[in-house]
Amino acid sequence: MLRWSVHLEGGPRRVNHAAVAVGHKVYSFGGYCSGEDYETLRQIDVHAFNTVSLRWMKLPPVRAGGNERVREVPYMRYGHTAVLLDDTIYLWGGRNDTEGACNVLYAFDVNTHRWSTPKISGTVPGARDGHSACVLGKTMYIFGGYEQLADCFSNDIHRLDTTTMVWSLINARGTPARWRDFHSATIIGTKMFVFGGRADRFGPFHSNNEIYCNKIKVFDTETNCWLSTPSTQPLPEGRRSHSAFSYNGELYIFGGYNARLDRHFNDLWKFNPDAFCWKKVEPKGKGPCPRRRQCCCMVGDRIILFGGTRAEAGEGSVKELTKGAEEEIKHHLISLTSCFKEFVQE
């Protein structure tokens, strides 16, 4: 039985942050919060949530000599991605109000909490934010996002081989997913399932004619081909800035926002890739309020969901969007097994 349970209030107030589960801990990197300084190039902050003790801890900053910035440490940003590969978290992309978007690869050692900038080669993706990142084996895949230099949405797939640290642009066959940002891309087996995101009706350039696709696009990493997919009903509403994760070979999505409908979501949907069909899931308990730009990490058979912007914040600038995030930062947990025993902190 699926059940929501609210654990606690508090923790880092963030939207468009990136988080990774490592064992029983969740590491959260950067993000945006109204009232904070995103022009000074300060170090990105790292918070760790212990899912056993239900406590947050902020990691101490890396010390630098004088006023110099430690270049191995990423500056504070939002719209970036973070993935775990062995004992290393790779952080890539995102933007800052001063520097704009970034395409430097940063590595965070989960054992020593030390940062480094691995030496890379090959065709490095252009700086962007709102992209997706997922891992298959020793390879990280980057898809989509909003490219700063080209000033447009992307639908390219870049691959980083972490054994050689070589970037390559995949020459994908088939009909690609539309240019988009703030979508999700989830690996199941050897396929990447892309859902949602913000796109433009007329092409890769943003013309304020936003569309929100609600159809799954599938990329086969073995053949480097976008697959033809059938149309099925029912379908979730198209959305961006939602959460996505896989469990037992199925894809789940939660929340997000559709600007054309001016609507935030707090629904949970499950997609079966074999039957190629969606099903709306109705967990027990009181779930999170409608939101977008939250983080969602799987720890065992549980989901830790935190942060994001509430529906009351409305649409507008980033600072306006985060007003709600300061009010709604509860942490939610959902079990994906019937044997889960719910516990709520008193």
Q: Take residue 206 and report the two structure tokens written for it.
A: 């943003």
What is the distance between the alpha carbons of residues 107 and 105, in angstroms, rounded to a whole number?
7
pLDDT at 316: 39
Q: Take residue 257 and report the two structure tokens written for it.
A: 């926002």
- 258 close to 237: Cβ distance less than 8 angstroms: yes
Contacts of 320 (CB under 8 A, 6+ apart): 34, 313, 314
- Three-state DSSP class for residue 313: helix
- Three-state DSSP class for residue 12: coil
**pTM recorded for the entire structure:** 0.90
Strand order in the sheet with 18-22: 18-22, 25-29, 46-50, 55-58
pLDDT at 65: 59
The end-to-end CA distance of the chain, in Å, is 22
- 98 close to 82: Cβ distance less than 8 angstroms: no
Q: Take residue 58 and report the two structure tokens written for it.
A: 């902020």
Q: Would you call 205 exposed, middle or buried from its count of C-beta atoms within 10 A (0-12, 13-18, 19+)?
A: exposed
**Eight-class DSSP state of 212:** -
Omega of the bond leading into 204 within 30 degrees of 0 (cis): no
pLDDT by 10s per residue, the chain, length 346: 788 886 677 778 889 999 999 999 999 999 998 777 777 788 999 999 999 998 999 999 988 655 556 789 999 999 999 999 999 999 999 999 889 999 999 999 999 999 999 999 999 999 999 999 999 999 999 999 999 999 999 999 999 999 999 999 999 999 999 999 999 999 999 999 999 999 999 999 999 899 999 999 999 999 999 999 998 899 999 999 999 999 999 999 999 999 999 999 999 999 999 999 999 999 988 888 899 999 999 998 889 999 999 766 444 333 333 333 333 344 555 555 433 333 332 2
- 304 close to 22: Cβ distance less than 8 angstroms: no
